[in-house]
Amino acid sequence: MDPLSLHEPMSHATDSSVGVLVLHGFTGSTFSMRPVAEFFADRGYAVEMPLLPGHGTTWQDMDTYSYQDWVEAVDQAYWRLQQRKRKVVVFGLSMGGTLALVQAARRDVDAVIVVNPFVKDMKPTMRFAHLLARFTPALDAIGSDIQKPDTDEHGYQATPLLSVRQLHLLGKEARRSLRSIICPVLVFKSREDHVIPVSSVEHLRQCLPHTRVVHLDNSYHVATLDYDAPTIFARSLEFIEELDNSSR
């Protein structure tokens, strides 16, 4: 298989009244979210799944993009979906969840679904990552935190520090935005996650007390490729069907 084919974006058009915008995580790619996108496409929903700038190529490529570039890519995909759909659901994993929350605060989004979202810095040093990058450009990879054996999300084998700084800035943007979100939010949180601490979901629930949280017992961070993926798909479908039925 051509390595680049693992990271292709996806656009699926239908006449359904709901469209789903699917967003992958930091240093990952559409590979980690393809099962989600295909699940909803198979059930007749319109789907947009962009490959975020700097992802799906090399980790050095990430250093040339800012978090605003990621936000803009999400916005472009949102408008492609919104042009032909009345309702838009944004579904994100990890940093994709952060971007979903930011999008919900700035645009007319009807619901948000996030899996192990990043909201608060994992470490205080994230804000100084651009300074640390003067001494070492990258740290070890954070991808493929998956309980299921022999499963790989095909993310980068290093974590660029300049991009870690951009992730920190995106998190600040998300925290500023949370109280502007008025749509329903569904959160899936792995009980054992070696990437994002529980403080992110705790902060999210503090700002959005009506958020629904579903705990995942048998998955690590990349839960969309892990044992609990069927639970994520089924509960998300129920959530979206509730939204769709409420408009009829």
Which position among 190, 200, 221, 226 bears the catalytic label? 221
Distance CA 161, CA 131 (A): 9
Distance CA 206, CA 201 (A): 8
Distance CA 188, CA 229 (A): 10
Distance CA 40, CA 46 (A): 8
At 2 the pLDDT is 42
Query: Per-residue confidence at 36, pLDDT binned at 50, 70, 90?
Result: very high
Of 82, 85, 76, 63, give the one whose Cα is nearest residue 23: 76
At 248 the pLDDT is 53
Asked if the model's pLDDT at residue 144 lies above 90, the reply is: no
Distances (CA, A) of 86 to 37, 117, 191, 245: 19, 26, 35, 13
Query: Per-residue confidence at 3, pLDDT binned at 50, 70, 90?
Result: very low
Residue 164 near residue 118 (C-beta atoms within 8 A)? no
Binding residues for substrate, by number, are 26, 95
Higher pLDDT, 4 or 31: 31
Per-residue buried b or exposed e for 126-147, using 16+ beta carbons within 10 Å of the residue's own CB: beebbebbeeeebeeebbbbbb
**Catalytic: 61?**
no
Which position among 110, 121, 145, 193 bears the catalytic label? 193
**Catalytic: 193?**
yes
Asked if the model's pLDDT at residue 213 lies above 70, the reply is: yes
Q: Match domain 3-246 to its CATH number in 3.40.190.10, 3.40.50.1820, 3.30.2350.10, 1.10.275.10.
A: 3.40.50.1820
- Mean pLDDT over residues 30-48, rounded? 96
Higher pLDDT, 135 or 247: 135
